[in-house]
Structure 1
Amino acid sequence: MYSFYKAVVVVFGPEYLRESTAADSERLLAINAERGFSGMLDSVDLFARIAEGHCPEVNFEINGHQYNKGYYLADGIYPEWSTLVKTIPNPQEEKRQMFS
């Protein structure tokens, strides 16, 4: 198994296991903006980089308020940070259920 994992890293590492670039961030921002999530970078797969304070600068506006950092969709196990947007626990109304 170890040899298999090592081979996967060698073969796929340069493309899929590398750090994000500015171009990657721009691509993700554009895709998510089309989906109605302006300023959202990605899911919390990049959590380690956020925890280290490495967050690409992103400028967007929602309801007349300017933001300069992107956000990530997360669930309840993550800390209460402004860059982590969590779902509504136990949503009761249809609109809230749809958001969740």
Structure 2
Amino acid sequence: MALDAWLAGATPQNYTSRTLQSVGRKLSDAETQIQSADSPEVPDRAGLITAISRLAAAVANAEAGLQDNDPAKVERAQRDVRNAIAALAAAYTKSFSPHP
């Protein structure tokens, strides 16, 4: 992950920042698509939107820590990103797993 590389000093701040901005845009696009989808194939739309919003907030916090050049803040945000990814995976599984 870009945050791991930045924390290790392996990537420059501007590269990591652009990566986070790109991820943020993609999450925003995904949230918009799910909100506008009129499909019965997404039964737990609210759960997916909540999980995506949580991930987007964690990414934004990571970017803020990066801009502040605050490794501790980035590490906290990185943990939040990982937890939000797990929550998104669970919401996705709940939404798209076969239902009896």
TM-score (norm 2): 0.28
Greater percentage in strand: 1
Instruction: Answer with 1 or 2: which has the greater Rg.
Output: 1
Q: Which has the higher contact order (CA 8 A, sep 6+)?
A: 2
Looking at secondary structure, tell me which structure has more helix per residue: 2
